[in-house]
Amino acid sequence: VVEGLKLLQGALAVGAPVESVFVDGAARQEPEVSSVLADVAGHGIRVFVLAPDVLARVADTVTPQPVLAVVGMPAARLDQLEDATFVVVCVDVRDPGNAGTVIRVADAAGADGVVCCDGTVDPFNPKTVRASAGSVLHLPVVVAGDARSALDTLRAQGMRRVAALTRGGEPYTAFDAGPPLALVLGNEARGLPPDLAPHIDAYISIPMTGRAESLNVSTAAAVLCFDVARRRSNLHDVVDP
């Protein structure tokens, strides 16, 4: 379920299989809404007009949106990432806001896909979709069960599996970001389970110079993914102090 005009427009723009659209009866005449509905009709998608109170009750947000859409979002398969050069793997990332932000960041930094393992929240849950700002529709998102077997499949597909630790890993600016890379992120509180060690090729950390003890998993993902993008796209420093 995709909520709101902006996410619906995003779904249409990327050609996602929008199955049906539900619109608030009171809002359907608003210019913005009716322009999107015309687009929806042009795609031959069914539109259902609902009494105002119905949508408010069904919606997941505090401020209900004028439209909801049911979009077929088939999870991708690991073998679709065979030619990937950069994927992000979430192991037991529980919070929908964090998982959605990781997917948004991976998309923005040009990753080829995101793999959700073990206890990770459903990436197609409405809260995750919202936090991803539509990015779950932009890049392949794989729902993989067991992290060990997913990491072994990625290894067999030629990827180097590099995991982020709060501390003790190699500085993130120093590891070899060149080869096909699987960046592995762990649980918000506990990090990665120790029994995953045989399935990890290297560990990296973000050096912190202040008094803060750690970063949120989605914040760390942003720093790490954009540094990979920077180094790969030759966004070299013009001025280095």
Can you give the binding site for a copy of itself, defined by CB under 8 A?
Answer: 14, 101, 104-111, 133-135, 138-139, 171, 173-178, 206-216, 218-220, 222-223, 226-227, 229-233, 235-241
Q: Which is nearer to a copy of itself, 153 or 214 (CB)?
A: 214
Closest CA to 218 of 106, 135, 137, 122: 106
Q: Which is nearer to a copy of itself, 18 or 196 (CB)?
A: 18
- Long-range contact list for 92-95, CB < 8 A, 24+ apart? 92/117, 92/118, 92/119, 92/120, 92/147, 92/186, 92/187, 92/190, 92/193, 93/119, 93/120, 93/121, 93/185, 93/186, 93/187, 93/188, 93/217, 94/119, 94/120, 94/121, 94/187, 94/188, 95/121, 95/188
Q: Which is nearer to a copy of itself, 29 or 209 (CB)?
A: 209
Structural element, H or E, at residue 12 = helix 5-13
Q: Which is nearer to a copy of itself, 50 or 105 (CB)?
A: 105
d(Cα 145, Cα 150) in Å, to the nearest integer? 8
Tell me the closest approach of the beta carbon of residue 154 to a copy of itself, in angstroms.
19
Q: Which is nearer to a copy of itself, 38 or 239 (CB)?
A: 239
Q: Contact, 192 vs 91, CB < 8 A?
A: yes
Tell me the closest approach of the beta carbon of residue 133 to a copy of itself, in angstroms.
7
Tell me the closest approach of the beta carbon of residue 230 to a copy of itself, in angstroms.
6
Tell me the closest approach of the beta carbon of residue 5 to a copy of itself, in angstroms.
14
Tell me the closest approach of the beta carbon of residue 161 to a copy of itself, in angstroms.
17
Structural element, H or E, at residue 71 = strand 67-71
Q: Which is nearer to a copy of itself, 86 or 124 (CB)?
A: 86
Tell me the closest approach of the beta carbon of residue 212 to a copy of itself, in angstroms.
4
